[in-house]
Chains A and B, each alone.
Chain A
Amino acid sequence: MIHVELQSVRKTFGSVVAVNGVNLSIEKGETLALLGPSGCGKTTTLNMIAGFLDLDDGNILINGKVINNVPPNKRNVGMVFQNYALFPHLRVYDNVGFGLQMRKVPKAEITEKVKRALDMVRLPGVEERYPKQLSGGQQQRVALARALVFNPDILLLDEPLSNLDAKLREEMRLELMDLRRRLGITSIFVTHDQEEALVLSDRVAVMNAGVIEQLAIPTEIYEKPKTGFVASFIGEFNKMAGEVAEIGSGGAVKVKIAEGVVIKSNQGYGGKVGDKVQVMIRPERMRLSLQATASDNSFPVKVEKIAYLGMVIRYYITIGGVRCVVFVANRGDRLNIATGADVHVEWDNEHSLIAGL
């Protein structure tokens, strides 16, 4: 069942087009990530769903009903703000209980629900404190408790983890995953952290300059990016420009990058021989070996530079005149490859993605 739907939603601020015809539909209980670079219209989209901004064009529907003119306080949508927006003049108790007080819930019930909400976010017993007496991570939990305590239909989160340090972010990410699974609430969260989007959501909408470039499940976003923007935004890619040399059966394609360098793919290509295309290969799908093997793609290369990052080691090489990088998981064997070594780079057919130019 479709719970939230955006139909050609558009919003401009003066001459700036913040959101330019966004279409989205979110199933009941689904978690959708809005992922995109700074200024692409993520917060604007969220603010329109929450009712803080009027639309210039299009419709927003909840449960099939257009809610464009419903004021924010009547939407029953919980929101966690980017900076948490906890009321500094109120204790945690009144912060979390605010939504219940507005709904005229009896006092005893508020106390009970606030306690349960704080237990849920693993922050029991802080009712009497003021927000500034809490750490960033604790404030984040209070903001979450406040947004969930009144049983909203939809939960909106604007970069909920961006203000936390790396370790805490990891921890809160796991907790959010767990919470989401337990509550099964329809949620939309904004992030510009691709890892967060992939881990936390059922589907990811990649936004760029006010439009959604691709809306798909995380694995598809990563494995089969539909546009060049999505490909470059999520993870890394080695990109090589070339010319289609041969189109075979079963999706087999050969692309000539340079004299003597022909890359094989089995990902299919809709055009014709002679087209200028781009071949994209994820750095972690490439392998380095000391001897040539019978791989689909295998080229002799020289290691030009090595960047040791701990968990992975990045090897810089050149294929057909194009600088590429290969990620190798650090298994402790260090491969015995030094800068300047002659090695072979190889990968399988299915990892060569082909995109039009």
Chain B
Amino acid sequence: MASAKASVATRRRARVNLLPFFLLLPVMVVFLAVFAPAVIHIFLQSLWKFDSFRLAIVRDLTAANYVKFFTDAYYLNVLWLTIRISLIVTGISLVIGYCLAYFIFYRGGRFRTYYVLILLSPLLVTVVVRAFGWLLFLGDNGLLAQFLKFVLRTDSPPRVIFNEQGVILGLFHVYLPFMVLAILGSLQRIDISLPMAARNLGASAYQAFTRVTLPLSLPGVFTGSVLVFVLTMGSFAVPFLLGGGKVPMIAMQVYEKELVFINWPFAGAMGFILLAIVGTVIIFSGRALERGKYGVVFQ
């Protein structure tokens, strides 16, 4: 009797679990049929040699591309630069994005939907157009430069574009909405009586936030941070347009190697290194959070 009940229960659970699988099936078929062979091909290619005199791929199995990346100071610098910019952009978006999400959710009142719409409106414009917008605003003859020239009475005001700050600013602007949306989503799932209960038990408004609201919103913080980090790590257009050629992030290098130098094996190797780093960061940060003090909120 008991075992019959148990088997009914497991059968029911199995049925529930299969539904998402079936819904994902079309996507998975496309992925496996189109995307996977391409990825495998690129991976194999990254293990081949490139003859830079004849500009041709030689099909000899070798780890040389990977070795070169990790021994050449230039590429190590590219990697470090990319990681550094991604961390900074993620950090800034996290702090500002959290404040924005918190404000929209708890202070937005009946204007909440409008704030979210305003937040999302930049997503209607492509990244390239937005980068050009920044160029117009921050460029050498842009509004800001004119203003600084006037205020500081100098012909060469400090530049905030065509350098790392410019790229960080541009990336922050492009990816902030993702962070806010993720955090907003997790704030919405917090029962409003929980911070109230904290206050009732003697917590100040600040303590209620740090002890209750913040830990419970960690899933949103994690999702938002992963999204922004991954998108920044692979970003191409913004560093290309706003970096003035001085901010060689890794995706730009892949582009250059692939299309300018036609060195597909090395480009492929860089692509895989990027993929591996991003994957490792996601998996390990996820694990760390699940094992951490508030791991239970991730289950």
Which A positions have Cβ atoms within 8 angstroms of B? 50-52, 71-73, 76-79, 81-83, 85-89, 98-99, 102-103, 130, 146, 150
Contacts and interface: CB of A to CB of B under 8 A. Distances in A.
Contacts of A102: 201-203, 207
A78 B212 contact: no
Contact of A87 (B199, B202, B212): B212
B200 A72 contact: yes
Contacts of B197: 79, 81, 85-87
The 3 closest A-B pairs by CB, nearest first: A102-B202, A99-B201, A85-B197
Contacts of B191: 83, 85
Interface string B188-204: 00010110111111111
A79 to B, nearest CB: 5
A71 B199 contact: yes
B297 A73 contact: no
B193 A73 contact: no
Q: Is the interface of A mostly helix, strand, loop or mixed?
A: loop
Nearest to B202: A102
Given A73-B203, A81-B193, A85-B193, A98 B198 contact: yes
B244 interface: no
Interface residues of B, number: 20
Nearest to A131: B296
Contact of B202 (A88, A130, A150): A150
Contact of B194 (A51, A82, A85, A130): A85
A76 B201 CA distance: 8
Contact of B297 (A81, A88, A103): A88
Contacts of B200: 50-52, 72-73, 77-79
A288 B294 CA distance: 65
Nearest to B295: A89
B279 interface: no
Contacts of B296: 88-89, 130
Contacts of A99: 201-202
B215 interface: yes
B216 interface: yes
A68 to B, nearest CB: 16
A258 B197 CA distance: 58
Contacts of A85: 191, 193-194, 196-197
Contact of A89 (B199, B207, B215): B215
A246 to B, nearest CB: 57
Interface string B170-213: 00000000000000000000010110111111111001000110
A20 to B, nearest CB: 23
Interface in B275-299: 294, 296-297
Interface string B211-241: 1100110000000000000000000000000
A22 to B, nearest CB: 21
A172 B269 CA distance: 66
Given A85-B194, A89-B296, A102-B207, A72 B216 contact: no
B193 A83 contact: yes
Contacts of A150: 201-202
Contacts of A86: 197
Given A81-B193, A83-B191, A102-B207, A89 B202 contact: no
A87 B203 CA distance: 13
A51 B194 CA distance: 15
A76 to B, nearest CB: 8
A72 B202 CA distance: 7
